[in-house]
Amino acid sequence: MTVSTVKELFELIEAEDVKIIDFRFTDPFGVWHHFSLPAQAIDEDTFEDGLGFDGSSIRGFQTIDESDMILIPDVTTVFMDPIFDDPTLVIICDIYDPITRQPYSRDPRHVAKKAEAYLKQTGIADNAFFGPEAEFFVFSDVRYGGGTNSGFYFIDSPEGWWNSGKELGSLGPNLGGQIGPKRGYFPAPPTDTLQNVRSEMVLMMQDIGLNVEAHHHEVGTAGQCEIDLKFDTLTIMADSLMKYKYVVKNVARKRGMTATFMPKPLFEDNGSGMHVHISLWKEGETVMFDEAGYAQLSDNARYFIGGLLKHAPALLAFAAPTVNSFKRLVPGYEAPINLVYSQRNRSAICRIPMYSNSPKAKRVEFRAPDPSCTPYLAFAALLMAGLDGIQNQIDPGEPIDKDLYDLPVEEALAIEKTPGTLSDVLDALEADHEFLLQGDVFTEDLLEAYINYKRENEVDPVRLRPHPHEFSLYFDA
């Protein structure tokens, strides 16, 4: 389904007998918002004049005295919604100021587009390709809550190792075969109970135009999964990841389960990351490859890595953007906390995959992100850091091709680590964001609004609440 003009859009509406048009946009924290109109309620003027909404009701957007905003639909993004009962066409929108008629500085999708434009402006490359590997959990039961005098969560899955001793119940016998901690990588059915669920997700993704490469069970017990998309350019890939998450969550719900992209829902098992593969291309050729370089990396690729390493603490404010993200970014779970690069080594924050010798396959994998991020902002920030590395020829230092969790103490202490909390990375972003402002890609008002919201609504509420485990530690004090 390819649409490039408003005329083609109306032809599609007629051909598919579309009843409802659903308009979607993304807030700075990665949540998709939508509203719908009957198909006959739109005309060509809709795509010129836009559609109004209350920007003060969206986190991180407008104050109430300047609340009016408009959406301009991007007809190139249309797809038929696979979930709704009535024929519904989805259009992703860009956000504009109704007075100035200029793109809104806090619209994540606008930031992504500006990053792509800035890349071309530098002359370094024409396109940046991104390939995220988003992991997620599918659970059968999730409960949580809290207040002044309580706080709890409970998660369950038939695959969970804690169910291996469960007695007979209303749902039938316990057949065993649960997945032990960190033993969920690629097991065949019946151990992998989610093949049919993932396959349904994949087929639905393909139906709406996503290019899926593979799917499989991941390392964690209790339903950890991964579905991989083929790489694409920055804004298109960010759009695709929003569609991806939408499909995953809705297919799980349809089957009486629930999917989450929360980075670390389970204690003492693997969290969900989103390793991001990045490559730069100019005039149809990669700028990442040099036969003579370490891991066949060009100088520009090494400098790109240098930028990622230098700005990694600030980047994590967008790439690992939750309090929970830093329950994953800890030693011992294959999560990358070491600010070094290496070929093949999954304990480095920057890895150079070596599956292929083809120049076209040469890329850098940044392993710290997780799927709770807003992809438009995370991908744009990664690109800006890498470009800063190239422009300033930032040397990433020597690669380390050792198990970074098994180094002698002296060597381990010499390696810089990622910050340990969301508060720390927000501080880092405040101190180090000049590289993001180049080309007016990110703006001061967006950064300020983002940082303030995270501190007031995520850092402080978690910091001030007693944790349930503290009662085990301290109640008898």
| H, E, C per residue of the chain | CCCCCHHHHHHHHHHCCCCEEEEEEECCCCCEEEEEEEHHHCCCCHHHHCEEEEHHHCCCCCCHHHCEEEEEECHHHCEECCCCCCCEEEEEEEEECCCCCCECCCCHHHHHHHHHHHHHHHCCCCEEEEEEEEEEEEECEEEEEEECCEEEEEEECCCEHHHCCCCCECCECCCCCCECCCCCCCCCCCCCCCHHHHHHHHHHHHHCCCCEEEEEECCCCCCEEEEEECCEEHHHHHHHHHHHHHHHHHHHHHCCCEEECCCCCCCCCCCCCEEEEEEEEECCEECCECCCCHHHECHHHHHHHHHHHHHHHHHHHHHCCCCCHHHHCCCCCCCCCEEEEEECCCCEEEEECCCCCCHHHCCEEECCCCCCCCHHHHHHHHHHHHHHHHHCCCCCCCCCCCCCCCCCHHHHHCCCECCCCHHHHHHHHHHCCHHHHHHHCCCHHHHHHHHHHHHHHHHHHHHHCCCHHHHHHHCCC
- 188 and 98 both lie in a single domain: no
Tracing tokens 């010798």 back to the chain, one arrives at 357
**In this structure, what is the dihedral angle of CA atoms 78, 80, 83, 85, given to the nearest 10 degrees?**
130
User: Would you place residue 448 in the very low, low, confident or very high pLDDT band (cuts 50, 70, 90)?
Assistant: very high
Over range 220-230, report the average pLDDT. 96
| H, E, C per residue of 287-312 | CCECCCCHHHECHHHHHHHHHHHHHH
User: Would you place residue 395 in the very low, low, confident or very high pLDDT band (cuts 50, 70, 90)?
Assistant: very high
Asked whether residue 310 is assigned to any structural domain, the reply reads yes
Over range 39-58, report the average pLDDT. 94
- 163 and 86 both lie in a single domain: no
Domain span holding position 402? 127-474
pLDDT at 347: 78
* Inter-residue contact 348 to 336 (CB < 8 Å): yes
Strand 20-26 to strand 88-96: parallel, antiparallel, or no bridges (unpaired)?
Answer: parallel
Asked whether residue 117 is assigned to any structural domain, the reply reads no
**Residue 121 burial (10 A CB sphere; 0-12, 13-18, 19+):** exposed
- 193 and 132 both lie in a single domain: yes
What are 425-443's pLDDT values in tens digits?
999 999 999 999 999 999 9
pLDDT at 298: 96
Residue in 69, 128, 30, 72 with CA at minimum distance from that of residue 372: 30
Tracing tokens 């390819």 back to the chain, one arrives at 2
Asked whether residue 400 is assigned to any structural domain, the reply reads yes
pLDDT at 160: 94
Asked whether residue 254 is assigned to any structural domain, the reply reads yes
Asked whether residue 115 is assigned to any structural domain, the reply reads no
What are 49-67's pLDDT values in tens digits?
999 999 999 999 988 888 8
pLDDT at 403: 77
- 331 and 419 both lie in a single domain: yes
As beta bridge partners, residue 342 has 351
Distance from C-alpha of 407 to C-alpha of 391, rounded to nearest angstrom: 33
Distance from C-alpha of 210 to C-alpha of 191, rounded to nearest angstrom: 28
Asked whether residue 120 is assigned to any structural domain, the reply reads no
Over range 282-309, report the average pLDDT. 95
- 88 and 136 both lie in a single domain: no
Beta-carbon count within 10 A of 169 CB: 8
Over range 449-462, report the average pLDDT. 97
Question: What average pLDDT does the structure give for the chain?
Answer: 94
* Inter-residue contact 263 to 136 (CB < 8 Å): no
- 100 and 131 both lie in a single domain: no
Query: Quick one: what percent of the chain has pLDDT higher than 90?
Result: 86
Over range 451-475, report the average pLDDT. 96
Tracing tokens 């983002």 back to the chain, one arrives at 450
Distance from C-alpha of 411 to C-alpha of 360, rounded to nearest angstrom: 35
As beta bridge partners, residue 131 has 277
Over range 170-175, report the average pLDDT. 75
Tokens coding 261: 């992209």
- 156 and 79 both lie in a single domain: no
CATH code of the domain in which 27 resides: 3.10.20.70
User: Would you place residue 11 in the very low, low, confident or very high pLDDT band (cuts 50, 70, 90)?
Assistant: very high
Asked whether residue 1 is assigned to any structural domain, the reply reads no
- 142 and 13 both lie in a single domain: no
- 231 and 343 both lie in a single domain: yes
* Inter-residue contact 96 to 72 (CB < 8 Å): yes
As beta bridge partners, residue 91 has 23
* Inter-residue contact 306 to 398 (CB < 8 Å): no
Report whether pLDDT(414) > 90. no
Report whether pLDDT(202) > 70. yes
* Inter-residue contact 449 to 111 (CB < 8 Å): no
Residue finishing a domain among 104, 137, 159: 104
Residue in 74, 35, 65, 31 with CA at minimum distance from that of residue 53: 35
User: CA angle 7-34-32, nearest 5°?
Assistant: 115
CATH code of the domain in which 218 resides: 3.30.590.10
Higher per-residue pLDDT: 336 or 33: 33
Beta-carbon count within 10 A of 232 CB: 18
Report whether pLDDT(345) > 80. no
> How many domains are contained in the chain?
2
Residues 6 or more apart whose CB falls under 8 angstroms from that of 148 comprise none
User: Would you place residue 170 in the very low, low, confident or very high pLDDT band (cuts 50, 70, 90)?
Assistant: low
Residue in 111, 129, 367 with CA at minimum distance from that of residue 263: 367
Report whether pLDDT(171) > 70. no
- 218 and 274 both lie in a single domain: yes
Distance from C-alpha of 131 to C-alpha of 143, rounded to nearest angstrom: 33
What are 64-90's pLDDT values in tens digits?
888 899 999 999 999 999 999 999 999
Asked whether residue 330 is assigned to any structural domain, the reply reads yes
- 295 and 438 both lie in a single domain: yes
What are 308-338's pLDDT values in tens digits?
999 999 999 999 999 999 999 987 666 788 9
- 22 and 157 both lie in a single domain: no
Residue in 395, 386, 441 with CA at minimum distance from that of residue 128: 386
Over range 298-304, report the average pLDDT. 97
Higher per-residue pLDDT: 178 or 414: 178
User: Would you place residue 348 in the very low, low, confident or very high pLDDT band (cuts 50, 70, 90)?
Assistant: confident
Residue type, 347: S
**In this structure, what is the dihedral angle of CA atoms 8, 10, 15, 20, given to the nearest 10 degrees?**
130
Over range 385-408, report the average pLDDT. 90
pLDDT at 168: 65
Among the listed ranges 8-12, 174-178, 373-377, which one has the minimum average pLDDT value?
174-178
Q: Is the dihedral of CA 390, 391, 394, 395 positive or negative?
A: positive
pLDDT at 409: 81
Over range 390-418, report the average pLDDT. 87
Known catalytic residues are 54, 133, 135, 218, 226, 275, 346, 365, 367
